[in-house]
Amino acid sequence: MKGIVLAGGTGSRLWPITRVTSKQLLPVYDKPMIYYPISTLMLAGIREILIITTPQDQAQFIDLLGDGRKLGVKFKYEVQANPEGLAQALIIAEEFLNSESCLLILGDNLFHGAGLGSQLEHSLPKTGCHIFTYEVTNPNHYGVLNLDPNGVPVSIEEKPKNPTSNLAVTGLYFFDKFASSIAKKISPSLRGELEITSVIDVYLKKNQLTVTRLSRGTAWLDTGNPTALHEAATYVKIIEERTGLKIGCLEEVSYLKQWITKEDLKECVSRYKNNEYGKYLEKIAY
């Protein structure tokens, strides 16, 4: 299984902050935003990750992350020339996926919860589509999943005006090897975009959609507007200060996964001298 991080888009909900930089490069407390979705994929055991960016921002992502070698992973990069919908990521990634299944995550989504990585690594299906839902108070802002009385998915709607469910579809999706070909066949929505819900709906109609309702012990934060960005930074700050453990620390994940050695980790420490991030890595390495 491979991973995709969609880090394109204009970030217009964050203007003027994002007029000259990608929102996924903005800080969420002590790390760039993109560290959090990448860490989710890494915790799921994924070591080949495609990062889709805008053309003008790609060089900055490469400067920040490189090819992944120092983390024991492989990063590849593609561009989304125009923001024409989330499902477009599956088309852009077709060659990278090479008929393999994938875990697609949105670059402005933050997931945190005990055992989430293990759940992703060991509980995903082999075929079909699997989505993660979260109960929210404003479902009209998201794709919404409707279930029958037995908990079986019956329909999915993109940002409905009058939602009949409060189950939001989060920005984390598992797709089997057919996802790219399905994405190429869907039509743009009234918004002129290739909706990810349209791809999911194809699997639903084939009875190939399964769902995990994220528990109360799991946090899902969408950082796409100023209030949400501030809330996410506050959440990370509180958890890290209270527990002494960092969220989204890529070097730590790699070391715990045994993808890099202690000597590799010590090299990472030397790159972050005289700051709190480096001191945290130092505690792990020595």
pTM: 0.95
- Check pLDDT > 80 for residue 258: yes
What pLDDT sits at residue 29? 95
- Residue 23 DSSP code: G
Sequence-distant (≥ 6) Cβ neighbours of residue 175 within 8 angstroms? 90, 101, 102, 104, 129, 199
Phi then psi for 82, rounded to 5 degrees? -135, 140
Q: What is the C-alpha to C-alpha distance for residues 284 and 286, in angstroms, rounded to an integer?
A: 6
Q: Counting Cβ atoms within 10 Å, is residue 217 exposed (0-12), middle (13-18) or buried (19+)? A: exposed
Average pLDDT (21-49) is 96
Q: Which of 10-14, 36-40, 112-116, 276-280 has the highest mean pLDDT?
A: 36-40
Of 6-10, 34-38, 64-68, the one with minimum mean pLDDT is: 6-10
**Separation between Cα atoms, residue 158 and residue 172, nearest integer Å:** 15
pLDDT in tens, 123-162: 899 999 999 999 999 999 898 999 998 888 999 988 888 8
Whether residue 86 contacts residue 195, with contact meaning beta carbons closer than 8 Å, is answered with yes
Reported as a pLDDT band with limits 50, 70 and 90, residue 106 is: very high
In the predicted structure, residue 12 carries a pLDDT above the cut 90 = no
pLDDT at 69: 95
Q: Where are the beta strands (DSSP E) in the chain?
A: 2-7, 27-28, 31-32, 48-53, 74-79, 102-106, 109-113, 129-135, 143-147, 153-158, 167-175, 209-213, 218-222
Per-residue pLDDT tens digits for 196-247 = 999 999 999 999 999 998 988 899 998 888 999 999 999 999 999 999 999 9
Q: Using the predicted structure, report yes or no on whether residue 65 has a pLDDT greater than 90.
A: yes
Asked: is 2-248 a CATH 3.90.550.10 domain? The reply is yes
Going by their DSSP bridges, the two strands 2-7 and 48-53 should be labelled as parallel
Q: Give the chain's largest Cα–Cα span.
A: 56
Do 156 and 145 meet the contact criterion of CB atoms below 8 Å apart? yes
Q: Which of 42, 1, 8 is CA-nearest to residue 25? A: 8
